[in-house]
Structure 1
Amino acid sequence: MNDITLAAATPEEIRSGELGRRLREYNYGFVGEYPDQQYIRLNARDSRGRLLGGLRSLVFLHWLTIDVLFVEADARGAGLGSRLLAEAERQAVALGARHAKLETFEWQAPAFYRKHGYEEYARIDDYAPGFHLCCMKKALHAG
């Protein structure tokens, strides 16, 4: 093993996706072939068409992963974030999700997510200097 070299992957190697393909094929032996990712992308606009907020997420292996949930400052406190979250969870359950997960900084919205049934399962201290990152999850239920 002393004759192994490490080098940056070439653009062609990256484009080929070979490394990821090899990992997926290994994983298939444990969980079966992966289902396709299903995206849930929601926007909220006012009557003039102004974008007030939105949500970006995906469903994969029975998990809803919320990447972005944002509401403009002047639209906060009126339930828009709750509506976006509930609709994403509803669509995710229809796509077969049984759980949801997300990450949020301590200055963002951990209290909002707790109010909606999410629990912190991990925390990374000093992720941004002086601030922790909350990793949160929730069981989803049909109905």
Structure 2
Amino acid sequence: MVEIVFEPEPLPETRAAILEGLIAFNQKQTGGTQSPPRNIAIALRDPARGEAVGGLTARIGYSRMFVELLYVPEHLRGQRLGEKLMLEAEAVARREGCTGIWLDTFSFQAPGFYKKLGYTEFGTLADYPPGFTRHYLHKNLS
């Protein structure tokens, strides 16, 4: 017998149980030929403060990189740092044997930026958030 319990903030052990179970299931389905997904970051660091002020986080798995988050602080924009972060992510993806990169972005963020970098839209989710659109993009690296 199990119960369904809402956790407004997931407990670490809950997330671990879900993630480990899903990874084990996926490994079984793919014949163990794929490494479990792993997270990476490419940071923008302020050397004077010794801390990250922005950057990119991504997950590598199943021969693709998924760019989860990309942020450049407003005072650093206009220096092509977003482009440099994406180019570095592509270099990392290639080194890791990825055949492509995918990501999502909102219409009020940067769909045009990614398209200029060669990403192709493969889907949208209208009215998410209300009044806007979520765009899904992919770029082949082969």
Q: 1:45 to 1:26 in 2, by over 3 A?
A: closer
Helix, strand or coil at the partner of 1:128:
coil
**Residue in 1 aligned with 2:115?**
114
3-state DSSP of counterpart to 1:127: coil
Tell me the distance in 2 between the aligned counterparts of 1:45 and 1:138.
Answer: 27
* Count of residue correspondences: 135
C-alpha distance 123-14 of structure 1, shift in aligned 2 (>3 A): closer
Residue 62, structure 1, aligned to residue 58, structure 2: no
Q: CA separation of 1:14/1:137 partners in 2, compared to 1, >3 Å: closer, same or farther?
A: closer
CA drift of 1:36 comes to 2.9
Larger radius of gyration: 1
Change beyond 3 A, Cα 1:75–1:122 = same
TM-score under structure 1 length normalisation: 0.79
Deviations 1:29-88 (A, max 9, x none): 5xx443132332011124423644200001101101000010011111111111111111
Q: CA deviation at 1:6?
A: 9.0
Report the AA paired with residue 53 of structure 1.
G
The question of 1:83 aligning with 2:84 is answered yes
TM-score where L is the length of structure 2 = 0.79
Write out aligned runs for 1:121-140 (5 A).
121-140=122-141
- 2: CA distance, partners of 1:83 / 1:26: 37
Provide Cα deviations, 1:70-120, integer angstroms capped at 9, x if missing partner: 001111111111111111110111001010000000000101101100011
Residue ranges of structure 1 left out of the alignment (5+ in a row)? none
Residue of structure 2 in register with 1:27 after alignment: 29
Q: Which residue number in structure 1 is paired with residue 4 of structure 2?
A: 8
Q: List, as ranges, runs of 4+ consecutive aligned residues in structure 1 with deviation greater than 4 Å.
A: 9-19
